[in-house]
Amino acid sequence: MTELAREYGEGLFDLAREENLLDGIHEEMNVLRGAFEGEPRYARLLQTHALSRDVRLAILDEAFRGKVHPYVLNFMKLLLERGALSALPDCARHFHARWLEEKGVVEARVTSAAPLTDAQRASLSKKLSDIAGKKVELLIHIDPAVMGGLRVDMEGRRYDNTIRHRLDLMRRHLADEA
């Protein structure tokens, strides 16, 4: 993440907190991050100098006015004017990290071979909350290569109870004995 993304993301976060708009702006920034990452050509179009600055601002205004909070629209316009609209996803990531910190929430990236049921999600969330001492937001990724079990990355630690991991440990143990 660039220093620009941290600085601008922090500025928007501070404004949203002061105006008691954290949750709404957080949601909008997450949606915008996904949109800009999913369609990078749109950001490139808005940054091309083949179009005048005023035309690019008008395109942005027409696309987002009334759909996002005016602070978010002005934030995007500021990035556009500074030639840094491509930093929007990183600004949103910084905003999200600060939002998690403010709310006392920690993200847990969970890798599973198959989708988890609601009951499994609730149980896992409770257990991880007990470990972290904070509310946990699960980010679940399905990867059949783990074969079974779960791998959890949370607060810089990895908890790996996957079949793939256990097989790797067994393979190393057998190789050491040979």
In 3-state terms the chain splits into helix, strand, coil percentages (rounded to 5) of: 65, 15, 20
Q: Domains, the chain, ranges and CATH?
A: 3-100 (1.10.520.20), 105-177 (3.40.30)
CA distance 129 to 124: 8
Give 99-136 pLDDT, tens digit per residue: 999 999 999 999 999 999 999 999 999 999 999 999 99
Distances (CA, A) of 157 to 72, 84, 128, 153, 154: 34, 33, 12, 6, 5
Q: What is the pTM of this model?
A: 0.78
